[in-house]
Amino acid sequence: MNNEDILSTVMEKATSWLESPIDEASKESIRKMMADNEPELIESFYKDLEFGTGGLRGIMGVGTNRMNIYTVGMTTQGLCNYLLKQFGERDEISIAVAHDCRNNSPLFAEITAQICVANGMKAYLFDDLRPTPELSYAIRLLGCQSGVVVTASHNPKEYNGYKVYWEDGGQIINPHDVNIIKEVQQIKSISEVKFDGDREAIIKLGEEIDALYIEEVAKQSLNPEIIKAHSDVKIVYTPIHGTGVKMVPRALKRMGFNNIYNVPEQDVVDGNFPTVVSPNPEESAALDLALKKADEVGADLVMATDPDADRVGIAIRNDHGELVLLNGNQTASLLTYYLLSQWSERGKLTGKEYIIKTVVTTELIADMARHYKVKYYDVLTGFKFIADIIKKNEGEMTFIGGGEESYGFMIGDFVRDKDAVTSCAIIAEIAAWARSQGKSLNDILLDIYLGFSLYQESLINVVRKGKSGADEIQQMMAGFRDNPPESINGSRVTMIHDYLEQVSTDTETGKQTRIDLPKSNVLQFLLEDGSKISIRPSGTEPKIKFYFSVYDRLEKRTEYESARKVLDKRILNLMQDLKLL
In a domain, 328, yes or no: yes
Q: What is the pLDDT of residues 108-138, one digit of tens each?
A: 999 999 999 999 999 999 999 999 999 999 9
Query: What's the CA gap between 235 and 255, in Å, rounded?
Result: 13
The phi, psi pair for 578, rounded to 5°, reads -90, 5
Query: What's the CA gap between 498 and 517, in Å, rounded?
Result: 11
Residue 165's alpha-carbon distances to 51, 63, 86, 149, 236, in angstroms, are 12, 25, 14, 8, 32
Is residue 77 located within the same domain as residue 174?
A: yes
Is the pLDDT score of 1 beyond 70? no
Residue 500's alpha-carbon distances to 204, 504, 522, in angstroms, are 42, 11, 6
User: CA 135: distance to chain centroid?
Assistant: 14
Residue 356's alpha-carbon distances to 136, 222, 408, 496, in angstroms, are 18, 19, 12, 22
pTM score = 0.95
Is the pLDDT score of 383 beyond 60? yes
Ramachandran bin of 412, using left for φ above 0, alpha for ψ from -120 to 50, beta for the remaining angles = left
Q: What is the pLDDT of residues 59-104, one digit of tens each?
A: 999 999 999 999 999 999 999 999 999 999 999 999 999 999 999 9
> Average of pLDDT values for 443-451?
98
What's the CATH code of the domain at 439? 3.40.120.10
What band does 52 get if pLDDT is binned at 50, 70 and 90? low
Residue 309's alpha-carbon distances to 154, 231, 244, 410, in angstroms, are 9, 23, 5, 12
Q: What percent of the chain has pLDDT over 90?
A: 90
Is residue 187 located within the same domain as residue 134?
A: yes
Residue that wins the pLDDT comparison between 2 and 95: 95
By DSSP bridging, strand 409-411 and strand 398-403 are: antiparallel
Q: Which domain holds residue 161?
A: 50-205
In a domain, 213, yes or no: no
b/e per residue 257-280 (b: at least 16 CB within 10 A)? beebbbbeebbebbbebebbebbb
Q: Determine the pLDDT at residue 6.
A: 84
Q: Determine the pLDDT at residue 364.
A: 98
- Residues paired with residue 58 on neighbouring β-strands, in sequence order: 160
Q: Determine the pLDDT at residue 49.
A: 82
Q: What is the pLDDT of residues 212-255, one digit of tens each?
A: 999 999 999 999 999 999 999 999 999 999 999 999 999 999 99
What's the CATH code of the domain at 484? 3.30.310
Q: Identify the CA nearest to 228 among candidates 67, 433, 394.
A: 433
CA-based angle 325:331:337, to the nearest 5? 140
Is the pLDDT score of 54 beyond 60? no
3-state helix, strand, coil split of the chain in percent (to 5) is: 45, 20, 35
Q: What percent of the chain has pLDDT over 70?
A: 98
Is residue 74 located within the same domain as residue 190?
A: yes
Is residue 430 located within the same domain as residue 510?
A: no
Q: What is the pLDDT of residues 496-507, one digit of tens each?
A: 999 999 999 999
Is residue 422 located within the same domain as residue 466?
A: no
In a domain, 234, yes or no: yes
Q: What does the DSSP 8-state code read for residue 389?
A: H
Residue 482's alpha-carbon distances to 160, 500, 548, in angstroms, are 35, 13, 21
Is residue 390 located within the same domain as residue 410?
A: yes
Kindly provide the residue ranges of all beta strands, DSSP E only, lying in 60-128, ordered along the sequence.
94-99, 122-126
**29, 46, 63 - which closes a domain:** 46
Q: Determine the pLDDT at residue 304.
A: 98
Is residue 389 located within the same domain as residue 274?
A: yes
3-state secondary structure 416-463: CCCCHHHHHHHHHHHHHHHHHCCCCHHHHHHHHHHHCCEEEEEEEEEE
Is residue 25 located within the same domain as residue 81?
A: no
Q: Write down the mean pLDDT value for the chain.
A: 95
The phi, psi pair for 121, rounded to 5°, reads -105, 160
Is residue 284 located within the same domain as residue 337?
A: yes
Write down the catalytic residue from 29, 105, 153, 341.
153
Q: Identify the CA nearest to 384 among candidates 408, 351, 400.
A: 408
Is residue 41 located within the same domain as residue 54?
A: no
The phi, psi pair for 52, rounded to 5°, reads -110, -155
Query: What's the CA gap between 296 and 545, in Å, rounded?
Result: 36
In a domain, 182, yes or no: yes
CA-based angle 354:355:358, to the nearest 5? 140
Q: Determine the pLDDT at residue 51.
A: 65
Is residue 473 located within the same domain as residue 570?
A: yes
Q: Determine the pLDDT at residue 508.
A: 94
Residues ≥6 apart with Cβ < 8 Å to 178: none
In a domain, 69, yes or no: yes
Q: Determine the pLDDT at residue 56.
A: 86
In a domain, 214, yes or no: no
In a domain, 219, yes or no: no
Q: What is the pLDDT of residues 276-335, one digit of tens each?
A: 999 999 999 999 999 999 999 999 999 999 999 999 999 999 999 999 999 999 999 999
Residues ≥6 apart with Cβ < 8 Å to 319: 442
Query: What's the CA gap between 389 and 379, in Å, rounded?
Result: 9
Residue 18, SS3 per DSSP: helix
Domain count, the chain: 4
In a domain, 217, yes or no: no
Is residue 396 located within the same domain as residue 469?
A: no
Is the pLDDT score of 541 beyond 80? no
Is 153 tagged catalytic?
A: yes
> Average of pLDDT values for 395-402?
97
What band does 417 get if pLDDT is binned at 50, 70 and 90? very high
